[in-house]
Structure 1
Amino acid sequence: MLDGAECRRLLGTASVGRIAFTEGAMPTIQPASYALRGDDVVIPTGLGSKMAAGSRGAVLAFEVDEYDLVERTGWSVTVIGPSRLVIDPGQVAALDALGVHPWLPTTTHGYIALHMTVVSGRRITSP
């Protein structure tokens, strides 16, 4: 198991993860670009997307990992917490300055801010 500080450090080394949310009462997982800002994972998304709709005030999960398929080693970090949709133009502009862009092109975007309430991770090593 990884401690919180190592989990946060590893979160800062990647740029794409997977977000888990609910769509029509069913679990959905999608790839998402992201950045870290304070205690939030910020994920750009189109304002009309299913991801934006599924994140409004919901508790979400976000996972990032890295694997070496030859050595069969790697790590995985999961974040769980409440989310909010950031659509205020000033706040969106401030988050745009982080340089992260939506996974899919969109004409209007905002950000999902997932507060890191639970952060857990583990190293994967071959037997």
Structure 2
Amino acid sequence: MTTNPAGDGYFSSLDAPECRKLLASQVVGRVAWESAEGINVFPVNYRIVNERVVFHTSESGPLSALLIPTKVGFQVDEFDAESAVGWTLLARGTTASAEGLESVSWVPDGRHVGVAINVEWLGGRVVSGTPS
């Protein structure tokens, strides 16, 4: 654990079991990857299925490019501004088709193209600061 020298906050790394638990506790994250157009970051709602991050998108959306195996980052976090406490996770992995794997899309318009992230690395930290 690393602490603030002034004694008013801290940050600490989270172990792998805690990271997996927190990842499974959320429903919205951000997937990031680099394409010919540059860096892309999109929010998605997701589920954990067989230790993979699974989300659905439309056939014509930019996320459908991830059906081709692509190295991605996936970030999830939660912060409480009032108490100045929060955590953040980063997963790194490679995408694949999630055909046959269940997830849920909040958008009702035919988002039936499934993408899975096979997580190859997962890390996180908890942070605390001084409330404003």
Using structure 1 for the length normalisation, give the TM-score: 0.84
Is 2:102 aligned against 1:122? Answer: no
| Aligned-partner Cα distance in 1 for 2:64–2:106 | 13
Partners of 1:31 and 1:103 within 8 A in 2? no
Q: Is the 8 A contact 2:16 2:122 kept in 1?
A: yes
Q: Whole-Å Cα distance in 2 between the matches of residues 113 and 9 of structure 1?
A: 18
- Equivalent residue, structure 1, for 2:50: 38
Other-structure match for 2:14: 2
Q: Calculate percent identity across the aligned residue pairs.
A: 27
Structure 1 residues 108 and 17, CA gap change in structure 2 (3 angstroms) = closer
* Superposition deviation, residue 14 in structure 1: 0.7
Greater gyration radius? 2
Q: For the residues of structure 1 that align with 2:107 and 2:74, how far apart are their CA atoms?
A: 18
| Mapped pair 1:101 → 2:104 | yes
Q: 1 CA distance for matches of 2:104 and 2:49? A: 15
Cα 1:17–1:101 change in 2 (3 A) is same
Deviations 1:2-57 (A, max 9, x none): 11110000011110011112343411111100000122111111122101114520
Structure 1 segments unaligned to the other structure (5+ residues): none
Alignment check: 8 A CA contact 2:47 2:104 kept: no
Amino acid across the alignment from 2:65: A
TM-score (norm 2): 0.81
